[in-house]
Amino acid sequence: MAGCRIESSRCFWGSVLEKLPHADPAPGLPTGGNRITQAVPSAHDGGVFGLCALRDGTLVSGGGRDRRVVLWGSDYTKLQEVEVPEDFGPVRTVAEGRGDTLYVGTTRNSILQGSVHTGFSLLIQGHMEELWGLATHPSRAQFVTCGQDKLVHLWSAESHQPLWSRISQDPARSAGFHPSGSVLAVGTVTGRWLLLDTETHDLVAIHTDGNEQISVVSFSPDGAYLAVGSHDNLVYVYTVDQGGRKVSRLGKCSVSGQWPPARATTRPGGAELTNFLPQRSTASALNALSHKYGGHSSHVTNVAFLWDDSVALTTGGKDTSILQWRVA
């Protein structure tokens, strides 16, 4: 058996936790219980969330608050330790791979690969909270996602890995690329929106329109204008200069009219993706061929195509996942 007291920094491990069915129970405990014969105090600073017994008889433990992965000998002496980078969050679980490879899962939805001897590198990274923003690069197989966790990730659609990540001050809701691909606009839930340099991921500018969420940010095809759609039913229009790095308020438009909601529903088998049409669609549009696909376990918050239409991308809200769909 194996156990770990999460509320303290002491760990009690497999071979030192023996089942003693014929032992005399402690006062007040039933016969046949477990008795702790050895403990390691101060194994970690804070809770211990992961334990993994290795094939060679050693043991690995993962700490929460201290983000350390520690290798212990068969006699429970500390042999080596390594600290997980702060950006990836505290350790949540540890698993053994081939050879001396270890896999570490963190509280920030990341999976790391490595060993206590060589350190750990990122294998998979994702979002931690509800995911909303999605935008595709105008000329590369890249896309951006952002969400309630304040993370902004620029992804490679080919390697499925983030090329860079940035933390915004507020939870993010929307994103849009300038046609040059060199500048990215990101809308947040507070009315603030950002301009980021896509090469250096540095902040170019911060603007504010209203105090409600920015539901959409979109540059015109020629890059001369930027539309910022707010949940306050106003669209703020900006002129754009210097390749998207400088914007000036031109005016604002009041949104009128009604559009039917997207018919994306959640069922036990996963969320469904369906086409939806405006109320004033023509008869030929209403008879257009459509398809339905399932995949997400939560509501589908966004859909986009790569610049060459080779891949469709979808984001799930509470499942925090990004799915890539090959377009036939």
- Shared-domain flag, residues 48 and 169: no
Determine the Cα–Cα distance for residues 69 and 11; give it in Å rounded to an integer.
13
- Shared-domain flag, residues 150 and 260: yes
- Shared-domain flag, residues 119 and 172: no
Q: Is 266 exposed, middle or buried (0-12, 13-18, 19+ CB in 10 A)?
A: middle
Chain-centre distance for alpha carbon 90:
15
Contact residues for 66 (Cβ-Cβ < 8 A; gap 6+): 44, 45, 46, 83, 90
* Number of domains the chain is built from: 2
Determine the Cα–Cα distance for residues 218 and 179; give it in Å rounded to an integer.
10
Averaged in consecutive runs of 10 residues, what is the pLDDT profile of the chain (328 residues)?
A: 44 41 53 74 90 93 91 92 89 93 92 93 88 97 96 94 91 97 97 96 95 96 96 95 95 72 42 46 61 88 96 93 92
- Last residue in a domain, options 90, 125, 160: 125
Chain-centre distance for alpha carbon 143:
14
DSSP string, 241-288: EGGGTEEEEEEEEE--S--PPP---EETTEEEE-----TT--HHHHTS
- Shared-domain flag, residues 163 and 99: no
- Shared-domain flag, residues 64 and 102: yes
Determine the Cα–Cα distance for residues 135 and 154; give it in Å rounded to an integer.
9
The per-residue pLDDT for 27 is: 59
Tokens found for residue 197: 């340099």
- Shared-domain flag, residues 30 and 172: no
- Last residue in a domain, options 67, 97, 125: 125
Task: Report strand pairing: 172-177 vs 59-63.
Answer: unpaired
Rg (CA), the chain: 26
The per-residue pLDDT for 135 is: 98
Contact residues for 42 (Cβ-Cβ < 8 A; gap 6+): 9, 10
- Shared-domain flag, residues 90 and 190: no
The per-residue pLDDT for 227 is: 97
Polymer length in residues for the chain:
328
Determine the Cα–Cα distance for residues 110 and 128; give it in Å rounded to an integer.
9
The per-residue pLDDT for 19 is: 37
Residue 40 DSSP label: B
pTM of structure: 0.72
Q: The domain that contains 64 carries what CATH number?
A: 2.130.10.10
- Shared-domain flag, residues 157 and 295: yes
- pLDDT tens sequence across 287-322: 677 888 888 998 999 999 999 999 999 999 889 899
Determine the Cα–Cα distance for residues 91 and 6; give it in Å rounded to an integer.
12
- Shared-domain flag, residues 106 and 153: no
- Shared-domain flag, residues 73 and 163: no
- Last residue in a domain, options 103, 125, 147: 125
Domain that holds residue 24: 3-125
**φ, ψ at 14 (rounded to 5°):** -35, -70
CA separation, residue 316 to residues 157, 187, 267, 303, 307 (Å): 17, 18, 13, 10, 21
Q: Is 163 exposed, middle or buried (0-12, 13-18, 19+ CB in 10 A)?
A: middle
- Shared-domain flag, residues 142 and 239: yes
Contact residues for 147 (Cβ-Cβ < 8 A; gap 6+): 127, 129, 130, 131, 132, 133, 171, 172, 320
- Shared-domain flag, residues 212 and 159: yes
